[in-house]
Structure 1
Amino acid sequence: MGQGVQVTDIRFCPVIFDNIVPIAYQRELNHLILQSNRISSISTGDLDFLSTHNLKLVLCRNSIKYIQPRSFEGIYLQELSLRSSFQDHSSMQIGLLNMSGLHVNSLVLGRYRNYKKEESFNKNLLDGLCHMDLQEITLISTGDSFSRTDSLSACVNNISTVRFVHTYLRTINFPENTNIHHLECKDSKFHRVPIEKLTVLKKLRVLHITNTDRLTEFDLESRNGALQKLEILDLSNNKLSTGLCWSCLKEHFPNLMVLNLSFNPLVKVPVELIGPTTLKYLDLQYSRLLGPGKLPTFLGLKKLLYLDISHTSISINTECSFCGLHSLEVLKMAGNSFKGNQVANTFTNVTKLKVLDISYCQLQHVSLGSFHHLHDLRELNVSNNKLLDFHPESFMNLHALLILDFHGNQLITLTKQHLESLPRGLRKLDLSRNLFDCSCDRLDFLRWATEHRDLFMQAQMMKCHSPSYLEDTQLMQFDISFCQVSTTTVVISVSVSVVVALSLILVYKFYFHLYYMMLLLTGGHSSTDHNKVYDAFVIYSSKDQRWVKQELEETLESGVPCFRLCFHYRDFRPGMPIITNIIKEGFHNSRKVIAVVSTHFLESRWCNFELEVAQSWQLLDSKASLIFVVLDGVDRVVLRQRLGLFRYLRRNTYLVWKDKEVKRHVFLRQLKAALLDGKTWTEDQLRSMLVN
């Protein structure tokens, strides 16, 4: 690797290197992973290239027999991982001693649970840690021989952060005056929280005891233990069935700021006027709670900023459920319920809220004053409830609101009053997965949604639920032009004062249609079928010309009976305007019109114009006939969005062409039958048919 190339992660494939391979200096190198190789020794000078780095070095799953003294001296590492790295117990003990002079922020030792090495930990095994500059150590899967902390080297007591992960630890016994500030025990063998054993840790500020299947007891009322400097207590993901005691927390943990009892079977919350005044963060999510909702159980938590009681099986039956929480800024209570499935004055006492989550609460109604006092609220989540509507002024006082999540409810539309009452500072709005009505009488909302598409989160999931023919159509792709035409028609019928202006607009917009009607009135309309030159005029996209030639021109004009078709590329007169050719040569001289509807047809402006003229021609001429041929593969969603065409096909029979022999035979027979309808024969044509 050349100098100057920015590499942040180097990983060597397994079973290649027997020793450390020097790496050229890389300014941006963050990770060096030498896991699962055959490294057996580390000598002085092997790691000199790391002297100026502060990276993560991984030597796991190797078989190190020997580390030469001073080979790690002067090396600075962010993290060093040595899981299952040594050949045996003796090699590990001597290797750690010979790593003296190493500066490392975090050291990871232990084994993989399916990797049988380093089965035992004796008291002298980690003596080498005394000669390292070490901030934190993690011991993982140390084996069943390690069940007591006093079986560890005294060197561990000088490390500020100690983590035990997947161990058989049952007893904690640390000497006094240790330097441990942060202690974690994940997946250990405790039956109860050993508070009284931890009181010797005078500097302990953070305690995590988590993911322990046997941990069922947490005795707060015991007088045998107090952790004066503890700020964070995490007892999540255990099997605790316990009762909280706010006054006991204040006594035993006078500086406690964070308490996490989430993901436990049962927590009883009492009503007490005195609580830990320093507590700012309380997480009880997914633990079944007894007390909250029926009683004001948080009266003593006046400094609490964050409360998560999501999915705790509580029902809010009193308006004073959150009394006392005068400083609360974040309240998450998803997955619970409210009395009568409605939010009344529940949040009157938490006026400083900035984030509120009441999703999945089976709400059916939000009263006018529910959020009246939440002037500082920035984020509101009322998603996945059963709300059919809400009062237009429900959010009028939420001047600071930036995010409103309303997805997964049963809203049909938002009225003009709703839209005008939305907070002006709103930056993100989620209305996806509601039951929107895309009828033309909802035009105000449909137009507003289109104009404010940048406001919406998950806009692609905003879909029409009704009318049935528009179900699952994306609201943002809905073509509102049909609704606009209908609105104009109503305005014409009731607003006589603007007849002149509307007439000019209609003349400009429907110029070709008026031109067609003029041609009909000036001649050719009285022509009989006897005077028709063609049996059918074919309108299609030029991109489908190959199909038209093979399936229509060659088949119908050379078969028996023989039909004569009008094609623009062959039968239009040169030098005449296209519109004149379409009307005079196409429609006037043809008994019928065949419209070949394909994906290209739906995208073509000329094809859509010819189709509109054909429908007008059919309306004015009672003998005119319009035959639709829909090609296989036409996108039904796109077809639905062309409201006029879609409604016509729903009311009239049409032919579908599929590229299969039997289907093609049936298609051709039906098409010929449609063309024969009303056809008159000359003597020459009959004589020609008899000869063939």
Structure 2
Amino acid sequence: MAHHTFYRLMLAVIMVTGAYSHPKCNEIDRKKCWCFNAESIDIQCPIMEPQISLTVTKINHKISLQCLGNSSPYIDLEIIPEMDVSESKIFQMSYCYFNNSFMDVLDKFNIKELKTLAFESMALKDNDSNISVSKESFERLGSLESLTMTYSTLSFAEDFLANTPNLLSLTLSRNHILELDFSLKNLSKLKLLDLSGNQINNLPDGIFDDLSNLTVLYFYNNNLTELSRNSLSGLNNLRLLEVSQNKLKDIAEDTFADLHNLVNISLRDNNIRGVPGSLFVQNPLLENIRMDYNKDMILSDYIFSNLTMLRSVALNVNKLKEVPENAFKSCVRLQQINLKNNELATLPEYVFKDLKSLKNLDLSYNKLNSLPNGIFSTLHNLEEINLGKNLLKAVNENLFKYMNNLKKLDLSKNRISLIDLKAFSSLQNSLTSIDLSFNVWNNNYSVPPEYGSLSGTLSPLNDLITLKELNLGHNNLTDIPELYALTNLRKMDLSYNEITNLEVPQFALAISYNYFVDLSHNKIEKLGFRYAEDIATSNSGDAIHYNGERSTVLKIHSNPIVCDCSNYDLTRYNDNQMKNLKTLVEIDQNELYCANDKHRKVIDVHPNHIDCPVLNGCPEVCRCSYKPYYTAIIVDCSKSKLTTYPKFNFTLDQTFNQTYLLLGDNLLTRGPTENETNYSNITNLDLSGNLISAMDWVPSQIKELNLNNNLLTNLDSSFIRKLNSTRIERLHLQGNPWNCDCKTWDLQVYLMDNYKKADDIFCMNSNTELTKLTELCKVSPYLTIMLPIILGIFLCFAIAFAVFYRYQTEIKIYLYAKNLCLWFVTEEELDKDKTYDVFISYANQDEAFIAGHLLPELEHGPHPFKVCVHTRDFIPGEFITEQVVNSVKDSKRTLVVLSNHYVNSNWGKLEFRTAHAEALSEGRTRVIVVIYGDLDETKLDNEFESYIKTNTYVKWGDKYFWNKLRYALPHSKNGFYEKNKKHAKMMLKIDDKFNLIKDPPSPSNTSTPPITLDPSLLESKQIIIDVPAKKIVEGESPLLIKKVY
């Protein structure tokens, strides 16, 4: 069953489609016409010079025929292609006409029944005005319901509408018709008649008698001077009468008496003066009356009374001087009255008494200077009232009383200077827009004591808690009203006032989203931001935002904003340093220029451009300022012909951690010193353009130093070290006569290490950048040759020293064994294993001298020696000879006390010979001879005599005896010689007894001298020494010489 239903539906669609077939381009002879197939079929014929354009729409099968040629107003049917659009109901023809009957055109398209026919611009030329429209023109168009003929110059036959009895709409507008000389009698079905835009000056009586069904009559923009009851007779069902823009002057009171169903009437833009009070008595259904734009109109009392269906009345621009008190009596449904642009000076107190439905009242552009207190008291449903452009001076507390539904109030362009504090109290829950612009109100009120701290918010506007738009432009406000209660406010216009100060924090509270405040064209010089950032930070999480828009937009263009220290926070805001505040408050500064720099936009002023003048502590010849962006003090003493450095001492409320000292272009010849007052904290120092030839000191806190264009030839290493100890970020050195030589090496290194901080410099003698020089010091060719040689020698010495230091003991032993370089071996090293410093050899008879003089002094003197004497230190029971040999061997010196007793002593001779033999075996002088008493030289044998003659000796009784003796005795290199230095001159003739034997000898300060052995001593006498019967230890040399030949 479902399938059968579907097939039936498809068949119906196909049948309908076939019934309303649409022409196709392939059905058109392409040799004669162009054809374009889109949403409509567009055809132009003929091809070469098209004379017609034909469009057939696919939706409603509307045919539009337009003539393109200008040779004749009549269409040439021969060039229209044959096509079948029999179902078309709408035909429109432009810029041409037909010869006889329009049916000739329809036959070309096979149209059988047409409903709508429109002709536009058929005959525009003067020579085409003889075109006549007759009943034959519309032959066989009995089905036509709408006929339009506009923008043409035609003549109409009296019965040209005889063949169109079913017309419902007839439009003959803008055809230059002068009079209605054609008949409308057979148009009993006509509902709309449009005769507007012609030149008709008279309506014949009874012309509309047969139009009993007519509901709309457009007769505006003609030349009617009179309108009577007879001319409108027969229009019993007329609902809209439009006769505006004519030349009507007086209207009889019964003119509209037969129009009982009239709902809308327009008499606007005529010359009507007097309006009878009973003009609309017979029109109880009237809803809209337009009588505006007449001249010097005078309204009669009760003119609109009892029109209970009346909705709107337009009486604007009529030069009305008064409105009768009962003009609107009992108009209970009246919603809109327009009395704009009249000459009303006052209104009756009860003129609006019965208008309980009134919603819109326009009294603007009159001469109202006062209004009765209760004039609006009954208008409980009034939503909008416009009192703008009047002469009102005050608004009392009763004027708007009981107007509980008023939403929009316009009091602009008056002379209001006083508004009662309670004037708007009745509007607090309804008013959303108020316009008080172009008045002289200043919002200043004498504050009662009971208000206390709330005095700043005292304003009649604070009662309007539902207010969304507030216009206070062009008044005398000096301060921005504090309207914290108006949380619904979206727009406030404060432009063109006398406001001098703007505190941004009061707008950072985000009392409303999408809040726009216009403060343009005021006298604002400074914007205050105190606590604004703190408020914004605390409110940033809870601030009201809507669709991503900022809470508040402040428009401040055309204000004398001063771009100086007072507006530093504004520049910080513009520099996006107050991000939280910027999300809450946008300050619109488009086209806002600095008052102190007319060519500079405020938004282009960066915070680092702001300087605050400082006077206290500033040197007399300088200009001082505080730069808050850098928290810095700037001392500008440039171009002041200074020869000495200025002194300054600032005490400011602001904290600053930088000091900029600008001393450029002066006559300074030296750099500053650390003794300059308060210079240690300078961070930026400009010394460019002076005569400075040397720099010795730089402030420890320096960040930028400018030494351009001075007389500097070099910066020494001490100054470079001071620079390196700072945190300098920029150093300017250009324009100086730099010498590039060895002395500039430290500066070159500094520039290369700090190439990002310091400018490169050019050498005066070569005009080359210092950092690009590879040789600052030219090297002598001789130095080039000698330097490797010297370095080689030094390296050899260093290696030799290192080897000697590591193996010095072995080397000394080897040298001594080979009898080489004995000067290199010290006595202290050779005697380091000996037990005694000195062995005293003496005769027993001299023991008293020994015990009384020698021993106490040697053992207990200022420099004690370890002494060996036979009476104390020989071991009892041992062989004397063996002990003598051991005592000589174990002592560094043998001191022989040579006296007459000693010469006669055999043991003395033995001890002498043993000591002498030991000295010979070591090649050192170890025997010290002290002559005691008067020696009898005749008793000396040859051995003693020869030794005394060839060696030095010390004689007891000499005043320098002890000094000479101590000098000959062994002593440490650590101090003995130094302490006896004062006796050195006396000992110069004494042979140094501490030199090693060498051939030739080379004395050393630390070795005993060589022994000079007298040949005669060895020449004729044998020296026989008994050797103890003791085995010689391996590696030990014999101590005694047995025989000498």
TM-score (norm. length: structure 2): 0.40
Counterpart of 2:150 (choices 137, 140, 152) is 140
The residue aligned with 1:193 is: 203
The residue aligned with 2:293 is: 286
> Do residues 357 (structure 1) and 393 (structure 2) align?
no
Counterpart of 1:329 (choices 335, 356, 360) is 335
Q: Give the Cα separation in 1 of the matches to 2:616 and 2:406.
A: 70
The residue aligned with 1:580 is: 655
SS in 2 for 1:344: coil
Q: Give the Cα separation in 1 of the matches to 2:63 and 2:387.
A: 43
Instruction: Check conservation: 1:258, 1:280, Cα contact below 8 A.
Output: yes
Structure-to-structure mapping, 1:87-166, within 5 angstroms: 89=99, 94-96=104-106, 98=108, 100=111, 107-111=118-122, 113=124, 120-124=131-135, 126-127=137-138, 130=141, 135-146=145-156, 150-166=158-174
Measure how far apart 1:105 and its partner are. Answer: 5.7
Q: Give the Cα separation in 2 of the matches to 1:382 and 1:255.
A: 35
Taking a change above 3 Å as real, the CA distance of residues 20 and 173 of structure 1, as seen in their structure-2 partners, is farther
Deviations 1:339-394 (A, max 9, x none): x5356332113232122111112111223211101112122222221222222342
Deviations 1:19-50 (A, max 9, x none): 67434349xx9xx999xx9753568xx73xx2
Instruction: Check conservation: 1:302, 1:324, Cα contact below 8 A.
Output: yes
Measure how far apart 1:71 and its partner are. Answer: 4.6
Taking a change above 3 Å as real, the CA distance of residues 447 and 406 of structure 1, as seen in their structure-2 partners, is closer
SS in 2 for 1:212: coil
Q: Give the Cα separation in 2 of the matches to 1:287 and 1:467.
A: 44
The residue aligned with 2:261 is: 255
Q: Give the Cα separation in 1 of the matches to 2:43 and 2:150.
A: 19
Structure-to-structure mapping, 1:234-273, within 5 angstroms: 234-246=242-254, 249-250=256-257, 252-272=258-278
Q: Give the Cα separation in 2 of the matches to 1:154 and 1:558.
A: 106
Deviations 1:610-641 (A, max 9, x none): xxxxxxxxxxxxxxxxxxxxxxxxxxxxxxxx
Counterpart of 1:22 (choices 28, 36, 42) is 36
Taking a change above 3 Å as real, the CA distance of residues 241 and 134 of structure 1, as seen in their structure-2 partners, is same
Taking a change above 3 Å as real, the CA distance of residues 22 and 356 of structure 1, as seen in their structure-2 partners, is same
Measure how far apart 1:137 and its partner are. Answer: 2.9
Instruction: Check conservation: 2:442, 2:475, Cα contact below 8 A.
Output: yes
Taking a change above 3 Å as real, the CA distance of residues 197 and 69 of structure 1, as seen in their structure-2 partners, is farther
Number of matched pairs: 494
Measure how far apart 1:526 and its partner are. Answer: 12
Structure-to-structure mapping, 1:654-669, within 5 angstroms: none
Taking a change above 3 Å as real, the CA distance of residues 412 and 343 of structure 1, as seen in their structure-2 partners, is farther
Taking a change above 3 Å as real, the CA distance of residues 451 and 572 of structure 1, as seen in their structure-2 partners, is farther
Q: Give the Cα separation in 1 of the matches to 2:326 and 2:468.
A: 35
Q: Give the Cα separation in 2 of the matches to 1:448 and 1:394.
A: 15
* Larger CA deviation: 196-205 vs 267-276: 267-276
Instruction: Check conservation: 2:225, 2:246, Cα contact below 8 A.
Output: yes
Q: Give the Cα separation in 2 of the matches to 1:205 and 1:321.
A: 28
Measure how far apart 1:456 and its partner are. Answer: 2.3
Q: Give the Cα separation in 2 of the matches to 1:121 and 1:384.
A: 55
The residue aligned with 1:275 is: 282
Structure-to-structure mapping, 1:213-252, within 5 angstroms: 213=223, 215-220=224-229, 222=230, 225-246=233-254, 249-250=256-257, 252=258
| Structure ranking higher in helix proportion | 1
Taking a change above 3 Å as real, the CA distance of residues 557 and 96 of structure 1, as seen in their structure-2 partners, is farther
Q: Which amino acid aligns with 1:269?
A: V
Q: Give the Cα separation in 2 of the matches to 1:319 and 1:341.
A: 11
SS in 1 for 2:250: strand
Q: Give the Cα separation in 1 of the matches to 2:85 and 2:649.
A: 90
Measure how far apart 1:333 and its partner are. Answer: 1.5
Measure how far apart 1:432 and its partner are. Answer: 3.4
Q: Give the Cα separation in 2 of the matches to 1:572 and 1:58.
A: 96
Instruction: Check conservation: 1:465, 1:472, Cα contact below 8 A.
Output: no
Instruction: Check conservation: 1:270, 1:291, Cα contact below 8 A.
Output: no
Measure how far apart 1:188 and its partner are. Answer: 2.4
Taking a change above 3 Å as real, the CA distance of residues 399 and 89 of structure 1, as seen in their structure-2 partners, is farther
The residue aligned with 2:638 is: 557
Instruction: Check conservation: 2:114, 2:141, Cα contact below 8 A.
Output: no
The residue aligned with 1:650 is: none
Q: Give the Cα separation in 1 of the matches to 2:615 and 2:197.
A: 94
The residue aligned with 2:177 is: 168
Measure how far apart 1:423 and its partner are. Answer: 4.7
Q: Give the Cα separation in 2 of the matches to 1:409 and 1:25.
A: 58
Taking a change above 3 Å as real, the CA distance of residues 203 and 159 of structure 1, as seen in their structure-2 partners, is same
The residue aligned with 1:520 is: none
Q: Give the Cα separation in 2 of the matches to 1:33 and 1:262.
A: 46
The residue aligned with 2:623 is: 535
Structure with higher Rg: it is 2
Taking a change above 3 Å as real, the CA distance of residues 410 and 176 of structure 1, as seen in their structure-2 partners, is same
Deviations 1:542-561 (A, max 9, x none): 9xxxxxx9xx98xx835768
SS in 1 for 2:423: helix
Taking a change above 3 Å as real, the CA distance of residues 161 and 447 of structure 1, as seen in their structure-2 partners, is same
Q: Give the Cα separation in 1 of the matches to 2:282 and 2:430.
A: 37
The residue aligned with 1:315 is: 321
The runs of 5 or more residues in structure 2 that have no matched partner are 1-31, 447-454, 480-492, 507-530, 536-564, 567-613, 664-1045
Measure how far apart 1:181 and its partner are. Answer: 0.7
The residue aligned with 1:649 is: none
Q: Give the Cα separation in 1 of the matches to 2:60 and 2:281.
A: 51
Taking a change above 3 Å as real, the CA distance of residues 327 and 559 of structure 1, as seen in their structure-2 partners, is same
TM-score (norm. length: structure 1): 0.59
The residue aligned with 2:805 is: none
Q: Give the Cα separation in 2 of the matches to 1:33 and 1:541.
A: 76
Instruction: Check conservation: 1:109, 1:137, Cα contact below 8 A.
Output: no
Measure how far apart 1:315 and its partner are. Answer: 2.4
Taking a change above 3 Å as real, the CA distance of residues 126 and 421 of structure 1, as seen in their structure-2 partners, is same
Measure how far apart 1:529 and its partner are. Answer: 5.7
SS in 2 for 1:345: coil
Q: Which amino acid aligns with 1:321?
A: A
Measure how far apart 1:56 and its partner are. Answer: 10
SS in 1 for 2:206: helix
> Do residues 379 (structure 1) and 467 (structure 2) align?
no
The residue aligned with 1:600 is: none
Taking a change above 3 Å as real, the CA distance of residues 363 and 112 of structure 1, as seen in their structure-2 partners, is farther
Measure how far apart 1:108 and its partner are. Answer: 4.2
Q: Which amino acid aligns with 1:219?
A: S
Q: Give the Cα separation in 1 of the matches to 2:162 and 2:341.
A: 48
Instruction: Check conservation: 1:257, 1:278, Cα contact below 8 A.
Output: yes
Deviations 1:112-149 (A, max 9, x none): 74697685133156427827x75533212332533x5x
Instruction: Check conservation: 2:424, 2:463, Cα contact below 8 A.
Output: no
> Do residues 178 (structure 1) and 253 (structure 2) align?
no
> Do residues 204 (structure 1) and 214 (structure 2) align?
yes
The residue aligned with 1:422 is: 427
Deviations 1:518-557 (A, max 9, x none): xxxxxxx998666x79532264989xxxxxx9xx98xx83
SS in 2 for 1:233: strand
Deviations 1:403-440 (A, max 9, x none): 32333223347554234332522333333333443779
The residue aligned with 2:375 is: 370
SS in 1 for 2:655: helix
The residue aligned with 1:83 is: 94
Q: Which amino acid aligns with 1:24?
A: A
Instruction: Check conservation: 1:325, 1:349, Cα contact below 8 A.
Output: yes
Measure how far apart 1:55 and its partner are. Answer: 8.0
SS in 2 for 1:279: coil
**Greater relative contact order (CA < 8 Å, ≥ 6 in sequence):** 1
SS in 1 for 2:625: strand
> Do residues 51 (structure 1) and 126 (structure 2) align?
no
Instruction: Check conservation: 1:534, 1:590, Cα contact below 8 A.
Output: no
Instruction: Check conservation: 2:94, 2:122, Cα contact below 8 A.
Output: yes
Measure how far apart 1:276 and its partner are. Answer: 1.8
Instruction: Check conservation: 1:319, 1:345, Cα contact below 8 A.
Output: yes
Q: Give the Cα separation in 1 of the matches to 2:126 and 2:191.
A: 31
Taking a change above 3 Å as real, the CA distance of residues 477 and 90 of structure 1, as seen in their structure-2 partners, is farther
